[in-house]
Amino acid sequence: MKRLICLAALAISTAAAAADAKYELDASFTSVEPKVIAWRRDIHEHPELSNREFRTAKLVADHLKKLGFDDVKTGVAHTGVVGTLVGGKPGPVVALRADMDALPVAEQTGLPFASKAKGEYNGEEVSVMHACGHDMHVAMLMGAAEVLAEHRDILAGTVKFIFQPAEEGAPLGEEGGAEMMVAEGVLDGPNPPAAILGLHVWPGAPGTLYYRSGSFMAAADSLYITLEGEQTHGSSPWRGADPIYLAGQIMVALQGIPGRFLDITKGPAVITIGSIHGGVRGNIIPDKVEMVGTIRTFDAGEREVLLTRLRSTVDGLANAAGITATVAIEGSTPVTGNDPVLLQAMMPTLQWAAGADKVLDHPLITGAEDFSFYQARIPGLFLMLGTNEPGVAAADSPSNHSPLFSPNEDALMTGVRTLVGFAMDYSSASTR
């Protein structure tokens, strides 16, 4: 009951805040929009891979310093930037996050500011592209920083701006991303953030905010299976132990785990093997095969059931084949979602930012996001921002990670408004 009363009070306070101070910002939003578009295009044309976001980090840090931020830290988790803006009124600390890294993708959009950048990915030269919209994320948070800095006198509380590297995953042999940011203390200090907001551009109606209460994006585990058999001539398989044959059996068997051993009422699960390496000739059975895959789940208990069943399935098949199997689960990312209490309290702000008819519930997403490492420490919201062209259905638009991914810049200011509104309304609500 006490939680419900607090929730109601917070929602009322949030609605009141949305009805006053934010309406003084319209001129600032109009003024910053061309800058946000220019920043986005500049970052898009000069993308950088995970843990290598040197130019982007400098652009961000210089911007925050120019705005007179109270503190700007660089080099966090390799290339991360964390800026602190103290408002003119007392209040709690909130955090806003944007990710900065691009992907090893060769751009095919044909945009006048398309990337021609090259980089090194796991020892190979690759083309680099902002194929997941992180250029949009950085530009929107830079825009929010400018608006909030201009109006810091009416801001109640403190806002911590987190520009994070390596959301797409650190290079082999390196650490990075949100987990490293948290380990290096971005959520610590005498006055740690009480809540955090993140946005991600997504195929959908332009300027629409998509949410889901509770679990939203999947937990992700990287799967590595090594099979060590006995090499022999392909014409005489009985003289050895064939790990390629076993790999095929394992692939089929793993697909039965979600459908036959998990409680699907608690959420879907996916096991995918995306890479198999073994052998050099068609007439030689190799002695080793390496399989790499991904696992996606939405329920912590069912994830444990899946992992246990996966290990026993691989071990059982390997024992029957006379082959040694090693299973490794690494790079685990928890479920990303929306704190139900925080989501309900901030709903008036989201509707102010996008329009009451453009804040919509969304199905589960089997993609993963390391934003969940922040949410493991503090309540958070993670929202999808629709960036399709008008009239284009989500299914008909190039998806994130596509070389044709080209989000609609008309949605940028909805993102800026959402970030600004969250910072202003959460703080104001907490002081009433």
Q: Can you give the pLDDT at residue 331?
A: 87
Q: Which tokens go with 64?
A: 């925050």
Average pLDDT, the chain: 94
Mean pLDDT value of segment 317-336: 97
| CA dist., res. 6 & res. 20, Å (int) | 22
Mean pLDDT value of segment 87-99: 97
Q: Looking at domain 2-217+335-430, does it have CATH number 3.40.630.10?
A: yes
Q: Can you give the pLDDT at residue 31?
A: 98
How many angstroms from the chain centroid is the CA of residue 175? 16
Q: Which residue has the higher pLDDT, 61 or 429?
A: 61
Q: Are strands 284-285 and 232-233 parallel, antiparallel or unpaired?
A: antiparallel
> What's phi and psi for 79, nearest 5 deg?
-125, 10
Quick one: which of 290, 294, 301 has its CA closest to 267? 301
Q: Can you give the pLDDT at residue 14?
A: 44
For residue 23, pLDDT over 80 is answered with no
The string of pLDDT tens digits covering residues 98-150 is 999 999 999 999 999 999 999 999 899 999 999 999 999 999 999 999 999 99
Q: How many residues does the chain have?
A: 432
Q: Can you give the pLDDT at residue 11?
A: 46
Q: Can you give the pLDDT at residue 396?
A: 94
The string of pLDDT tens digits covering residues 29-51 is 999 999 999 999 999 999 999 99
Bridge partners, 382 (sequence order): 198
Q: What is the CATH number of domain 219-333?
A: 3.30.70.360
Amino acid at 67: L
Quick one: which of 96, 20, 3, 74 has its CA closest to 344? 3
* Angle between helical axes of 54-66 and 26-45 (0-180°, round to 10): 160
What value, to the nearest 5°, has the Cα angle with vertex 10 and ends 7 and 13? 150
Contact 157, 87 (CB under 8 A): yes
| CA dist., res. 414 & res. 113, Å (int) | 22
CA torsion 52-56-60-65 (nearest 10°) is 80
Quick one: which of 54, 42, 55 has its CA closest to 113? 42
Mean pLDDT value of segment 353-374: 98
Q: Can you give the pLDDT at residue 49?
A: 98
Q: Could you give the 3-state DSSP secondary structure of residue 312? A: helix
Q: Can you give the pLDDT at residue 24?
A: 85
**Confidence tier at 20 by pLDDT (50, 70, 90):** low
pLDDT > 90 fraction of the chain, expressed in percent and rounded: 92
For residue 9, pLDDT over 80 is answered with no
Q: Could you give the 3-state DSSP secondary structure of residue 200? A: strand
Question: Would the CATH topology of 2-217+335-430 be identical to that of 219-333?
Answer: no
Q: Which tokens go with 9?
A: 């009070």
- Every domain of the chain and the residues it spans: 2-217+335-430, 219-333
For residue 96, pLDDT over 90 is answered with yes
Q: Can you give the pLDDT at residue 18?
A: 41
Mean pLDDT value of segment 156-183: 96
For residue 430, pLDDT over 60 is answered with no
For residue 297, pLDDT over 60 is answered with yes
Burial of 403 (0-12, 13-18, 19+ CB in 10 A): middle
Q: Which tokens go with 288?
A: 């080793």
Q: Which tokens go with 252?
A: 């089929």
For residue 427, pLDDT over 80 is answered with no
| CA dist., res. 332 & res. 338, Å (int) | 19
* Angle between helical axes of 300-321 and 243-261 (0-180°, round to 10): 150
Mean pLDDT value of segment 316-330: 98
Contact 327, 253 (CB under 8 A): no
For residue 1, pLDDT over 70 is answered with no
Mean pLDDT value of segment 320-338: 97
**Confidence tier at 7 by pLDDT (50, 70, 90):** very low
